[in-house]
Amino acid sequence: MWRRVVEGWTRSSRPWQKSTTAARLSGIAFSAKGDTVVSYSAERIHLDEGESGRRILTMDRHGNAPVSVVAFSHTDRHIAEVDEHGNLCVWVINDARDEMIVRYQSAPLLYALLRSPLWLRFTPDSNHILCGNDQWQTVEFRLPPEPSPSQDVAKLEQVWPLSKKHIPSHFGWKEGDDAWLWYQSKGRREPRTHVCWLPGDRRPNAVGPEKEKVYAWSGNVVAIGASNGTLTILRVNKSKKE
């Protein structure tokens, strides 16, 4: 594969990794260890191995609204999602990794607080969830004790003040351009840096009323969901400046 150095960043020579579903992907996230990728289509959730692309688990979704952002907890046991209607819910994966169930939900108010969420993540203790947009507006929720199987889904509690140190640096695309992947650190004054150019069939799908692009990152590894159902995984390495 080709290798390109652009303003301090370089694409790895590692081959593309692919996993294809029968429907368009609307959300992607890495596990904390980077060894598992969760991807969403309209009706199903898929878990794949990050290196091999082997399918681990497929589950039916409870709703058909495309997701806007997705996140794994640091324990790799929870997966949080926000759909295009602003509904936040959290899935719990069992120890055998052969079943997932929704155990937490919030009121559909995220879109009243956030315009176009771009990222979602758990705090390192996996007890809180933060969601934010490109203007650095952020909301945070606390996970109450997990309900027993016989209990109803537990409600997430909005908290304040925010765990601001956990707001991430991020990869993304400039508005109107889905070809060039770029990187920006969490400091708003830091310039965006082009990373690499993507062929047409590898570019991110756009979902929801705000046409949010389908992608996720874990450290320097980026996963991109295309409109043809292809999941592409890239490793981006920061080069040493001369």
Q: What is the pLDDT of residue 44?
A: 86
Domains in the chain with CATH codes = 5-238 (2.130.10.10)
Q: Of 10-14, 42-46, 122-126, 178-182, which range is least confident?
A: 10-14
Peptide bond into 108 cis (omega under 30): no
Q: Of 22-31, 109-118, 149-158, 223-232, which range is least confident?
A: 109-118
> Do 153 and 102 touch, CB atoms closer than 8 A?
yes
* Mean per-residue pLDDT, 72-86: 88
> Do 21 and 46 touch, CB atoms closer than 8 A?
yes
Q: Beta strands 9-11 and 17-20: pairing type?
A: unpaired
43 has a pLDDT exceeding 50: yes
Residue scoring higher pLDDT (136 or 165): 165
pLDDT band (50, 70, 90) for residue 122: very high
Q: What percent of the chain has pLDDT over 70?
A: 76
4 has a pLDDT exceeding 70: no
pLDDT of 164-195, one tens digit each? 777 666 787 877 788 888 887 654 445 578 88
Output DSSP code: residue 202: G
